[in-house]
Structure formats: structure tokens, C-alpha cells
Structure 1
Amino acid sequence: MRHSTTPSPNQTKKDRIEALEKQNKELKALVAWYEEQFRLKKHQEFGASSEKTPDDQLSLPLFNEAEITATPLEEEPEEEACAEATPTKSPRKTISADLPLETVTHTLPKEEQACSSCGNELHMMKKEVRRELEIIPAQVKVVEHEREVYACRTCEREGITTPILRAPMPNPVFPKSMASPSAVAYVLTQKYMAGIPLYRLEKQFEQLGVPLSRQTLSNWTLYSADQWFDPLIQHMRKHLGNQEVLHADETTVQVLQEKGRAPTTNSYMWMYRTGKTSPPCVLFDYQTTRAAKHPQRFLKDFKGKLHVDGYSSYESLPGVTLSGCWAHARRKFDEAQKSAPPKQGGQLTLAEQALQEIGRIYKVEKEIAKGESTPEERFSIRQKQSKPLVEAFFTWLKKIRPQVLPKSSLGIAIKYTLNQQRKLEEPFKDGRLEIDNNLAERSIKPFVIGRKNWLFSQSSKGAKASATVYSLIETAKENQLNVFQYLVYLFETMPNIDHKDSQKIEGLMPWSKTLPGSCYLNKEKTE
């Protein structure tokens, strides 16, 4: 007797219902994901860009443990957003005392200095002062360097040879050119500090009566980077390799004429810099890709602690300990909160709870920053106050992870943070480290802003020159130098010294204590 394998109608209907329920669940998850992306995109386009935690956010406990509910009178930590979102208020800036002061006195004519009531002579009771800034536009002048050449008349009449003696004259910054130290310094500061493209500088010079083409300005830039700045950059690279703590970051740059690559292909500008405990040194490195071989080559002599974001290329650095960035982790949860549906009731969402707990960690850092703590003191404070917060935070993330859709914004934030756990715990093991990589982000930001103006580099040679000039200018800014005056000093000095003399090169570094006072923003510190 043969048994029929045809499923019963009830079984078929049941399977069909299960399939539809599964499909419905998947579609709901997909719709929820699209709604998240829509809300996030809408917030990015129309909402505030700040990641600051709202001041009126309810302060609710994250971990509903019995110990917390058993001590209701215990004062909860005041809610605090991270340092990235609530920077410390800086003191009000004042006009430099080094600026020239011109006083214009306004007086009444002698015949009008009589009292309107009694007719007697008036006396000056006080002076009312109003200050204004007067701007003097850039001025261009031509400087002729005449060198006198001497000869002996006696030798001219009686001798076989006539000695020729020339007066000393400094070497030019660009041979057979009208480029002066101040002219080249002006071009570089305008392009790399103010973000003005060369074609706009060309128009500026036209208004000043100087027909300098952008090709000429480009030649000045490339020659300066290769001839005068490169010895300084090599010295800076050695300095960087000897550090114990560094920061690293990277961003895209478009180069139009690269061999074998389409003009629309992205290249990368890598950035490496010292930490807060060392004299500031910022170095940019142009490369065609984002491959791991580039930081491996650049940091081949470095064996210390490196602050990074979540990019995996840094994982392969031999002998280097990576320290993660809590600001990046916080940003993920901030995006999750912005893409979340409107709240029902007054309870905090999971993303808001995560933001609040990260804020508590930053609050400890803010308190540390108020005093001049040594690395040992920072380590001690973090062990007592920050470490328990960090451990509890990761325990909570692992607990709620199964409850969250993996592909949702919150699920992505949780996955990212847990994957970075080892690196995120590193700053609390070493007081020399920061808990984020914001120092690197601030250093690379001028390049990103400048890129919005000049958009791309014409060639790889130009991109490498940009990396060189940005390195020197950003390092000078970090060391509180007047960048224009510093570049003028370099262009006056570099053509007239031996570049192999390491002591002379060290004396020209932006952190050198032997620079002339004119190179500093605050000249009072150098006196």
C-alpha cells in the first residue's frame, strides 16, 4: 500500500502563513531601516549639526540594578555631554598690543570754546574714546638688488690677472625670478591658510598692477616645497618617529592627472601628528590609495601608542598599540538618536542612554582638564572614576545587543563600539593618552576646508607639494607662530645655509626656541 506524500490542505495553509509572517517581518524591518535613513538624512539637511546632548534630557539611570534602586537618596551624576559637543569656554580674545596705534584728536575751534549759558571759557572735562580698525590693503613694490663689483686699477694696468671682488648679496628664493621671500610667503599663506585658489590670487595681483599668472604662482609653490621645505619635512619625520604617542587620520583628495587612473578616482591625504605632551608637529602624506602599506611605511620607526579611528588599516602596524576614539563611537549613537522615531512618553531611548553614559566618561575628562595633571595623576583618576563607567557601559551594550536589529542605526552603533572595545579601553590604561582622536581631526580640518575651495589638485606633484606646505603651515600654527613672518624668515634663511647641517635645520623648526621674536603671534612671550 503506497502512502501519499501530498501535504494536507491545513499543512499547506500553515506553511503559507509562516512564510507570509516571515516575509512581513522582513519587510517591516526594511521599512523601519528606510525610515531611519530618511529621518537621518532629513536631520542632516535641515537640523542642527551640533552633537550636543539636550540640557533638558531626563537624567535616568542606565543600569536598573538593585543597588541603584536601594539607594534612592544617592545623588546621581549631573548629565554632561562629551567634550566634542560642549567645548570649554575660551577666554575673550583681545586686539594684539603689537598693532600700531594712531590717535586722532577732535577738538572744538578756539572761538567755539565758550559756555552757551554764561559765555565764559570752557575747560576740557574728559576725553571720549572710540576705537576703530583701519585696514591698509596689500601693497606691492619692486626692490632692486644692486651688487657692487670691485677691481684693482694697478693690476688692470700692470698685472697679468685682475682680482674681482663682489659685495655679499643674499641668494634669491627663486633664481632668475622676481619672487621675494615676502611674495612667496604671501602666496602660500593665501592659498593654504585662507584657501584661496591660484586663479583668484592671479586676479588679486592684477588689481595691484602685477601680471603674475597662475602658472608662475604654481612654479613658486612647487619650487619652494621641493627646494626649501623638504629638508625641514625630513627632519620633522625623524622627530615624529621618536615620539611615544601619536595621532593619525586620513581624508580624500582628488587628483586629475595621475598615471593610469581616472580623474574621478579618489586619492588620500594621510595626516600624522604628535600628542599634547610633545611640541606640536603635524605631517601630511599624499598617497594614491587608503591601503595599509602607507602607514606601515610612514610609521616604520614608530613603536609607541597611536590614536586612531575605526579604520582597519592601522591594525597591521608592527609594534604599535592602538588607542580608540570615543568621539567616533558617540557619533554613531548620535546618528542613531537622530534617525530614531519620535519618543513615546518621557523615558530615554537606548541611544539617548548610551549618549548619557558616554557623557559621564567625558565629564571625568573635563574635570581632569581643569588642572594640570601629570600622566600618572590622570591614570589614577581614570582608574578610580572612568574605568567602572567603561566596564559597565560595555556590559550593558552586550546585554541589549540581542534586542536591537543588527542593520538599524542603533545596531550598527552597538556593533561598531563592541568591535572597538579593546582600543576604546586603551586610554584608561595610560595617562598619556586622550580618550578620542579629536586632536587629529582638528589638524586635518584646515585641509578639508581648503579642499572645498580649490576642489582638486592638478597633478600628483602638486598634491605632494600641498602635503609639504600644509605640514609646515599647520605645525607653525600649532606652535603659535605668525605663519607669514615665519615663512618669510625661512625663505630668507634657507637659500643661504647648508641643508645638511642638522643643528641649523633644528633651529628653523616651528618649535625651535631660537626663532626671532617677529615669528610669534604673541611677541610678549618671547621677550
Structure 2
Amino acid sequence: METALENLSKEDLIKVISGRDEMIRSLSKDSSSKDEKIDYLESQLAMYKRMQFGQKRERFEGDPNQTMLPFQAEPAEVELQQEIIKEKIEYTRKRPNHKGRAKLPAHLPVEEIEIYPEGDLSEMVCIGKEITDELECEPAKFYIKRYIRYKYAAKDGSNVSIAELPERVIDKGIPGPSLLAMILADKYLDHLPLYRQKQRFAREKIQIPSSTIEGWTKQALEKLEPLYEQLIFDTKSKGYLQVDETPIKVLDSDKKGATHQGYYWVYHAPLDGTVLFDYSPTRGGIAAVPMLGNFKGYLQTDGYAVYEKYGKKKEVIHLACWAHARREFEKALDNDKERAEKALLMIQQLYALERNAKDDALSAERIKELRLEVSLPIINEMGKWIFEEIKNILPKSQIGKAMGYAYARWDSLSAYLYDGSLQIDNNLIENAIRPIALGRKTYLFAGSHEAAQRAAMIYSFFAICKKHEVNPFQWLKNTVRSISPINHKNLKDLYPQNYKRIIA
């Protein structure tokens, strides 16, 4: 290399040296750029690690000369703020443009507080009074109910008599029926987990271990098992059932830390207003066998394939759900607005009749007459239209899926015309399932398959309470107290739908 450089002219040598210097600067620049990029990525990685694994509060050493907290506001600013607050308080007290109070419930107890004018009233005459009502409440009151049973004996000591202790919900346990009803209602109706209920006990200086509260919950639910078994038996005998299912995550003991996807199968008897939740680890058809294996009558479901199988049985008339068919056409509005709107308008006419019949409280016979007179021609027209249009659309398009869904179930969609007591859709059972969706957001999963089934039991009765406008706490308190001593022949008297008759 050195020999070659010696043979170069002065100008060529300068060019070579300049090129080499440029190359060195370029390599140095690239290396520096790479180093900067590596440093940046490493800093980003360190930040993400802190966000994921590090403490959320970092130590920070500030300027020792910085002004110390707290800052003090200027006296003029304090005075101005107090004036603003005073005006705000006066405004909230006067409540301008108030349209009047809501009427308070008449069944609530009233605590009367009499207020007389100040000063000497001996020379004055009362000419009237003004009454102002205020709705108030007290937090849950805990107290001890103490049974004191006196013993009596004959003077010669030969015979000792003592009164019998009333039936206890939990034998030798300390919780009374009201406390157990509150725990169950808070957990399964208002979705308040047991650990939060324990915190409420602690605020009242009542220290109860978590295992004890869990044990009370389990034992109280076990008290309801005979009534639940009776509900299962009665539900199987119904001639008209609506069925749906909803998922519930369950801790799987075979897989540590993992959850299993279980399902609540829900059976609603519209004519009686009863609801049955039944838990199954699977969504397969076998899960419905205990309830639908020998079912005879009207079975109303969505388009899930398992129900289609039961609907094809000889003794079953399968009813489809117009709400599900309508949803498919709503999805198609962006795909084929003209066809989707036409279908939705015809479905809207079907629902208009149902709404008017409900508002007018028409009999089942009259509803059937109106359906045959008004709804049947609409259904026939829609059926002919779908039959013609479905040939001209892509099956995999959304409008194609909507028409295909309705076309494949046309007989089942029309079957509600058979009887005025039948529903046009499955919305009633979907309303019964809705609280489960709210609960899933709170407790996330059931502790075991057994716990999920026990929850299904209480969900059933709370759903029935809701349908019959029964106070679930009052019903549960009465039921856990009465179920043990009751004669098995009178067990049905404890159903929520019979509770109002019992207390009347």
C-alpha cells in the first residue's frame, strides 16, 4: 500500500487522503447514530420495566432552595373565595325554579319533630301548621337477639321443664335469618363480594373471619335446596318454556390459577312467571337433557343449534325469536339499507300490535284473533319477499345472512300465532339473565362448580322475586326461617310468587 502511494502525484495523493478522512468521519457518524439509537431504546425499555414491575411512586430530590409547602393564599383572595362559597350555599338552599317534591311512600314509618316559634306563646293562638317531609335512613343496625329460657322444676325435683328454642337457620350458629338474608341479597342481588361485606362488619367493630362468612353463605344456600328441587320438578312440567344460556367463569381445581368457561342454562315459564337457573360446565346439548329430555309443548329459543335439535322432536313446537331476526337486519343497514329498512318496517308493524295488546291488557283469545287478522298478512308478505330477494343477494353478505337466518326459521318465527299466550320473542328471558352480566363485572368468577350451582339456585328465586315485584330480602328472611319446620306438602307456599298471599 505504501509503495502504491509513493507512485501517486501530489494532487492524487491529496484526493486519496481527503477520501479516507471522509470515510472515517462517515463511519464515526454512523457509529455515533447507532449508539444514540441504542441508548434511546435502552432508556425506553427501562421505563416500560418500571411501569410494569417497579414502584408507582418514585423518590425525587428537589431543589433545597425551592419554596416549601403549603403555599399561603393572599388575604384578599381568601375573602373573595369565602364570598363565592357563601353565595353558592345560599343558592343551593333556595333551589330556584324547584318544580315540587317527589311523593314519599306511604308505607314508611314517620318520625314527627314538632317545632314551635321562639318566645312567649301564652298570649297567642295556634292557627295552623305547616308540614315538611324529609326522606331519611339509618345504616344497617346490628344487634344481638338473646333467647333467655327459664327452667322450672317440681318442688321434689322430679320433673324439669324448659321452653323449646325456636328453630335456628344454622344449628348452633350465631347468624339470624335477617343477617343471612342481608348477606345473600348483598352478594347475589347487589353483587357485593363477601370481602367487602366483611369490611362493613369491621367498620361496626364486628370482627368475623372470611371463612366464617363463607360458611354462613353456603349453609344458608343449602337450606334452599329442597325448594329449588321442587322448582326444577315444576319447571319440567310446564308446557311453554323459553330457554337461553349465558357464560360464567369458574375456578377449575384441576388447573391452578385457571378458570373454566361454564354456563348458566336459564328456563323461563312465561305463563307462571317462574325462572330456573341451572349450571353446567358445558354448552353442549347434553347440558339441557335433564330439563328438555322429556319436554313436551312450546319451546322458544334463539338460533343455537342445540335448541334446533330439541325443537325437531315430535312432541315439541319450536318458536323462534323475532328480536334475534330483527337484530340481523339491523346489522345489515350499512350493507343494504333499502332491503334492511323494508324488513325492519314490517317487523316494526308486528311489534306495534304486540305493544298495543299489552297496553290494553287484552285476553289471549283476543290477541290471537288480532294476530291472525293483522300480523299474519304481514308475515306472509314478508315471507314471499324474502323468498324472491334471497335469490339475488350474496349469501355471505350481511343482508344475505339476515335473510338466510329468517328464511331457515320461518315456520318457527310464525309459530307464535298459534296461541295468544305465546310471546313474539325471547326478551323476557334475556331480561332475567341481565343481572348475571352485571355480576360478572364484579366478582369475575365462581369459586367452584358447586359454588356456581348454588349461585344458580339463589339467582332463580331472586329472578322470580323481580318478576312478581316481591322484596327479595323480606322473602329470603321468611324462607330461610320457615323452610325447616314447614311440612313438605306445603313447600310451594314458600315460592316468591306466593309470598304476597302469605303475608296478606
Please give the range of the TM-score, normalised by the shorter of the 2 chains.
0.7 to 0.9
Structure 2 CA distance for partners of 1:354 and 1:94, relative to 1, 3 Å: farther
C-alpha deviations, 1:375-395, integer Å up to 9, x for none?
Answer: 222111111100110111122
The equivalences for 1:302-451 within 5 A come to 302-317=295-310, 318=313, 319-337=315-333, 339-340=334-335, 349-451=338-440
C-alpha deviations, 1:126-160, integer Å up to 9, x for none?
Answer: 63x44321121111112222333344442x4xxxx
- Tell me which residue corresponds to 2:496: 510
Structure 2 CA distance for partners of 1:173 and 1:125, relative to 1, 3 Å: closer
C-alpha deviations, 1:57-85, integer Å up to 9, x for none?
Answer: xxxxxxxxxxxxxxxxxxxxxxxxxxxxx
C-alpha deviations, 1:429-458, integer Å up to 9, x for none?
Answer: 222211001110111111221222111101
- Tell me which residue corresponds to 2:148: 146
2:230 alignment partner AA:
H
- Calculate the TM-score normalised by the size of structure 2: 0.74
- Tell me which residue corresponds to 1:485: 474
Deviation at 1:301, TM superposition (A): 4.5
Say which structure, 1 or 2, has more relative contact order (CA 8 Å, 6+ apart). Answer: 1
The equivalences for 1:441-480 within 5 A come to 441-480=430-469
Q: Tell me how far apart the structure 2 counterparts of residues 94 and 435 of structure 1 sit (CA, whole Å).
A: 37
Q: Tell me how far apart the structure 1 counterparts of residues 276 and 104 of structure 2 sit (CA, whole Å).
A: 31
- Among 222, 229, 250, the residue aligned to 2:224: 229
Deviation at 1:165, TM superposition (A): 2.9
1:382 alignment partner AA:
R
Q: Tell me how far apart the structure 1 counterparts of residues 344 and 306 of structure 2 sit (CA, whole Å).
A: 27
1:242 pairs with 2:228 = no
> Which of structure 1's runs of 4+ aligned residues deviate more than 6 A?
none
Q: Tell me how far apart the structure 2 counterparts of residues 408 and 290 of structure 1 sit (CA, whole Å).
A: 28
- Among 249, 252, 258, the residue aligned to 2:247: 252
Give secondary structure in 1 for the equivalent of 2:484: helix
- Tell me which residue corresponds to 2:267: 272
> 5+ unaligned residues in a row in structure 2: which ranges?
1-101
Q: Tell me how far apart the structure 2 counterparts of residues 443 and 174 of structure 1 sit (CA, whole Å).
A: 30
Structure 2 CA distance for partners of 1:368 and 1:332, relative to 1, 3 Å: same
Deviation at 1:407, TM superposition (A): 2.4
What fraction of aligned residue pairs are identical, expressed as a percent? Answer: 30
**Is the contact made by 1:507 and 1:514 (CA closer than 8 Å) also made in structure 2?**
no
Q: Tell me how far apart the structure 1 counterparts of residues 287 and 245 of structure 2 sit (CA, whole Å).
A: 11
Give secondary structure in 1 for the equivalent of 2:494: coil
2:229 alignment partner AA:
Q
- Tell me which residue corresponds to 1:99: 108
Give secondary structure in 2 for the equivalent of 1:170: coil
**Structure with bigger gyration radius:** 2
- Tell me which residue corresponds to 1:37: none
C-alpha deviations, 1:287-335, integer Å up to 9, x for none?
Answer: 0011112222113443111221111212233422221111111111122
1:295 pairs with 2:291 = no
Give secondary structure in 2 for the equivalent of 1:511: helix
Structure 2 CA distance for partners of 1:365 and 1:514, relative to 1, 3 Å: closer
2:106 alignment partner AA:
A
Kindly report the root-mean-square deviation, in angstroms, between the aligned alpha carbons of the 2 structures. 2.6
Structure 2 CA distance for partners of 1:94 and 1:292, relative to 1, 3 Å: farther
1:214 pairs with 2:210 = yes
- Tell me which residue corresponds to 2:134: 132
Higher helix share: 2
1:453 alignment partner AA:
T
Identify which range, 179-188 or 504-513, moves more after superposition.
504-513
- Tell me which residue corresponds to 1:80: none
Give secondary structure in 2 for the equivalent of 1:234: helix
2:426 alignment partner AA:
N
Deviation at 1:178, TM superposition (A): 1.3
**Is the contact made by 2:104 and 2:135 (CA closer than 8 Å) also made in structure 1?**
no
Identify which range, 129-138 or 319-328, moves more after superposition.
129-138
- Tell me which residue corresponds to 1:19: none
Deviation at 1:94, TM superposition (A): 5.7
